[in-house]
Chains A and B, each alone.
Chain A
Amino acid sequence: MSEQPVMVFQDVTKVYPLPAGDVTALDSVSFQVERGEFISVMGPSGSGKSTLLNLMGCLDVPTTGDIFISGTRIGDMSDIDLTNLRRDRIGFIFQYFNLFPLLNTLENVTFPLMLKSGKKADAERGRQVLRSVQLEESLYSHTPTELSGGQQQRVAVARALINDPDILLCDEPTGNLDSKTGAGIMDLMTELNRKGTTIIMVTHDHGIAEYSKRTIKIADGRIVS
């Protein structure tokens, strides 16, 4: 069972119907991601990277073709099931950190856990994950605006990891950080991957892409290598 790929794209096409004519953002894309892989997705603007990211993150469904996340086909899932899938199987890391400004560090990290359990935050689990992303304990009660960019991204990584997802999906995770802090975050990613976390990272920074073990290049909605 553990050998099952965490993500499979089979002949996936995404068409956006627009008044001026249909736009094919992804055209017959097929690939699969094995457990424990560290993949970067690269491509120029308008190549279909964002569409691919939305589909991988179950924020959208394909027009044709099939997507399987840990063996589950997402094509005809309801919004409620897709939302639960995102909550339980996928960890999101965004370029702009996207923490909740009204919540402190610990609350931000335990938010998905509360969504899943429906109970009050398990603070100990939150602290444990925050320690694993090497964030100082004194910052746990701070709000995002009181943290540096690097610290915020570490909180975002911890939030993505809290529900023990199958895949960590990163959208330009260092795009809003200086090179030194970015390198620190990438070292953390590498460390997480070494411990078994599957990571898919969308970037157009070749230097960052070098941290991954495999690169999927995309152009004009098709995988080119």
Chain B
Amino acid sequence: MSGGIFYEIAKRNVRIHLLRSSLAMLGIIIGVVAIASMGILGNSLVLTVSDSLKTVGDSVIVTPHVGGNTRGFGGGGGGSSSLTLSEQDFMQIKRVSAPNVAIPVLQSSDRMQLGVGSDEIVATVYGLNPDDVPELLKLKEGGYSRGNSGCLVGSTFAKDHNVKVGSRILIGTDGNKGTLRVTGIIEERGMAFDVSTDSAVVATKEWFDAAYNRDNYDKVVVKVKNLDDLPIVKSAIEKQMNKRDTVVDVMDTRKTMDTIFQAFGQITTFVSAIGGISMLVAGVSILNIMMMSVTERIKEIGIMRSIGAQRKEVMAMFLYEAAILGIIGSIIGGVMSLLGGYAISTVMLQTTKYLFVPSSLIHIVYGMTFGIIICLVCGIYPAWRAANLNPIDALRHE
């Protein structure tokens, strides 16, 4: 193949029509940037959410069934309309989940003060068995509370209200539920399905029962050691608890997370597809200028063919031209996507750590590849047309 000279002609033709070529390339640049930066943004969002959710991906969460016929939850409470799980329910869940750990959780919201006379705030209060706490929560500072007057607080709670290990919190209006001393600060957990402790207070179950006069549970969290067992544990609980009526709702957090990521993935694909439309428009402009290039050079094609250039060589010359536009446009677009992605990540996510990871950078490769492919595809028809011109007619063309 005498590809060299045809490539050279294609290159010079792009250069001689610099303005026209640049405008066509601009379309490709915009297309690549649209696809790549949308992809990067979507992926960064997924990574951000997944980072804040990954600590809870190993749980099965059992909550009372909402909205169906109940058999009177609340066990001993008889006729209580509040949706809770009884001790008996918990024991059944614990038995079918073994050897995985089942953790009963009590939950409420209450007013509290961080010292006598200070402003009242409202926060979530959890009640957990002291033995279960290390299974569920990791501490940033201090130690786990043993006694009933100790509590843990979430990291956001501690930061917002300037709470330290040793601080005292008055729970209830004017501290009517008692005073708790902070023994430890919980590591940030982010958004969680089991217990969201970042802005909460975690007390002992015993204290919680006494303060709120409760002996039933709001939910049971089963920590599954082997992630592959998640669906087995989930169905075992459902089978045991929902024999006749639907008594409990069982949520497999990993599945929920998968659904969330799937939704994010679909959004990313959709937004990238919108970017893809701009690439198609760019493709049409490439087709247009390639057709123009062929029309302008009909006579030249005729001369080439008459002195011995094969059809495939003429075709290659025009495809080279489309490829040059595609490759240069895509490279510029790729660089701009990286810069754009950096800017968007900095502004929207306040971090660029999700930009320089393969799953984000691959979107630049996708954008660039799509750009080059679109250019080549849109170059095929004009190139084919040029190659199949009748040399006699082409020579006669003025």
Residues of A in contact with B (beta carbons under 8 Å apart): 54, 57, 59-60, 79-80, 83-84, 86-88, 92, 94, 98, 100-103, 107, 111-112, 114-121, 159-160, 163
Query: Which residues of A sit under 8 angstroms from B310, Cβ to Cβ?
Result: 80, 83-84, 115
Query: Which residues of A sit under 8 angstroms from B281, Cβ to Cβ?
Result: none
A116 to B305 alpha-carbon distance, docked (Å): 13
Closest to A98 in B: B303
- With A60-B392, A118-B2, A119-B2 in contact, do A102 and B308 touch (Cβ < 8 Å)? no
Query: Which residues of A sit under 8 angstroms from B16, Cβ to Cβ?
Result: 102
Closest to B10 in A: A102
The answer to whether B308 and A87 have CB atoms under 8 Å apart is yes
The answer to whether B306 and A115 have CB atoms under 8 Å apart is no
- 6 additional contacts (CB under 8 A) given A59-B391, A94-B395, A111-B5: A57-B306, A59-B306, A60-B392, A103-B9, A111-B307, A116-B308
Residues of B in contact with A (beta carbons under 8 Å apart): 1-2, 4-5, 8-9, 12-13, 16, 299-300, 303-311, 313, 391-392, 395
The answer to whether A115 and B392 have CB atoms under 8 Å apart is no
A92 to B299 alpha-carbon distance, docked (Å): 14
The answer to whether A121 and B299 have CB atoms under 8 Å apart is no
The answer to whether A84 and B5 have CB atoms under 8 Å apart is no
A79 to B392 alpha-carbon distance, docked (Å): 13
Query: Which residues of A sit under 8 angstroms from B304, Cβ to Cβ?
Result: 100
The answer to whether B306 and A92 have CB atoms under 8 Å apart is yes
A-B pairs, 8 with minimum CB distance: A87-B308, A102-B12, A114-B2, A98-B303, A114-B5, A115-B308, A118-B2, A86-B308
Within the complex, which residue of A84, A86, A101, A117 is in contact with B306, where a contact is CB–CB below 8 Å? A86
Query: Which residues of B sit under 8 angstroms from A111, Cβ to Cβ?
Result: 5, 307
Interface of B is mostly: helix
B8–chain A nearest beta-carbon distance, Å: 8
A124 to B313 alpha-carbon distance, docked (Å): 24
B35–chain A nearest beta-carbon distance, Å: 33
B137–chain A nearest beta-carbon distance, Å: 72
- With A54-B392, A59-B391 in contact, do A83 and B1 touch (Cβ < 8 Å)? no
Closest to B3 in A: A118
- With A59-B392, A102-B12, A115-B313 in contact, do A88 and B308 touch (Cβ < 8 Å)? yes
A94 to B398 alpha-carbon distance, docked (Å): 14
- With A54-B392, A59-B392, A98-B303 in contact, do A107 and B5 touch (Cβ < 8 Å)? yes
The answer to whether B308 and A117 have CB atoms under 8 Å apart is no
The answer to whether A102 and B306 have CB atoms under 8 Å apart is no
A79–chain B nearest beta-carbon distance, Å: 7
Closest to B11 in A: A102
Most buried by A among B2, B9, B16, B307: B307
The answer to whether B300 and A100 have CB atoms under 8 Å apart is yes
Query: Which residues of B sit under 8 angstroms from A101, Cβ to Cβ?
Result: 300
B21–chain A nearest beta-carbon distance, Å: 14
A19–chain B nearest beta-carbon distance, Å: 17
The answer to whether A87 and B307 have CB atoms under 8 Å apart is yes
Within the complex, which residue of A57, A83, A117 is in contact with B309, where a contact is CB–CB below 8 Å? A83
Query: Which residues of A sit under 8 angstroms from B1, Cβ to Cβ?
Result: 118
B152–chain A nearest beta-carbon distance, Å: 77
A114 to B8 alpha-carbon distance, docked (Å): 12
Closest to A163 in B: B308
Closest to A117 in B: B2
5 interchain pairs (CB within 8 A)? A86-B307, A100-B9, A115-B307, A120-B4, A121-B5
The answer to whether A115 and B309 have CB atoms under 8 Å apart is yes
Within the complex, which residue of B2, B12, B308 is in contact with A83, where a contact is CB–CB below 8 Å? B308
Query: Which residues of A sit under 8 angstroms from B313, Cβ to Cβ?
Result: 115
Most buried by B among A54, A100, A103, A159: A100
Query: Which residues of B sit under 8 angstroms from A116, Cβ to Cβ?
Result: 308
Query: Which residues of B sit under 8 angstroms from A119, Cβ to Cβ?
Result: 2
Closest to A159 in B: B307
A101 to B5 alpha-carbon distance, docked (Å): 13
Query: Which residues of B sit under 8 angstroms from A88, Cβ to Cβ?
Result: 308
Most buried by B among A92, A98, A112, A120: A98
Query: Which residues of B sit under 8 angstroms from A94, Cβ to Cβ?
Result: 303, 395
Closest to A100 in B: B300
Closest to A162 in B: B307
Query: Which residues of B sit under 8 angstroms from A60, Cβ to Cβ?
Result: 392
Within the complex, which residue of B13, B300, B307 is in contact with A112, where a contact is CB–CB below 8 Å? B307
The answer to whether B309 and A100 have CB atoms under 8 Å apart is no
A116 to B308 alpha-carbon distance, docked (Å): 8
A68–chain B nearest beta-carbon distance, Å: 19
Query: Which residues of B sit under 8 angstroms from A98, Cβ to Cβ?
Result: 299, 303, 395
A159 to B308 alpha-carbon distance, docked (Å): 12
A86 to B391 alpha-carbon distance, docked (Å): 12
B15–chain A nearest beta-carbon distance, Å: 9
The answer to whether B303 and A102 have CB atoms under 8 Å apart is no
A114 to B308 alpha-carbon distance, docked (Å): 10
The answer to whether A84 and B9 have CB atoms under 8 Å apart is no
Query: Which residues of A sit under 8 angstroms from B305, Cβ to Cβ?
Result: 83
B329–chain A nearest beta-carbon distance, Å: 21
Query: Which residues of A sit under 8 angstroms from B308, Cβ to Cβ?
Result: 83-84, 86-88, 112, 115-116, 163
